[in-house]
Amino acid sequence: MFPVLYTKRLREIRESYAETIFQCLSKDEVTRFYGQDSLKNIGQAKDIVASFAKTYLEKRVIR
C-alpha cells in the first residue's frame, strides 16, 4: 500500500492521471528536457503509471 504522506504537494500517481500525463508528455517541447521520447498514445502513459507502482512495490523507487 502506498504510504500516507503528510504534504499538500505529493500524492500517489494513479491510472486516473494517465490522460494528464499523456497531455504533458506527448509534447516534444516538454520531453526534450525530460530525457525521453514523446508519448504517442494513452497506453504509454498508463504503462508509466504501472511502472511507478511496480517499482514502488518492489521497494526500489518512489516517484
Local structure of 51: helix, strand or coil: helix
Can you give the pLDDT at residue 28?
96
Taking the mean position of all CA atoms in its chain, how far away is CA 47? 8
- Give CA–CA dist 49/5, Å, rounded: 18
- For the chain, the first-to-last Cα distance in angstroms comes to 14
Can you give the pLDDT at residue 30?
93
pLDDT, one tens digit per residue, over 38-61 is 999 999 999 999 999 999 889 898
pLDDT, one tens digit per residue, over 16-28 is 999 999 999 999 9
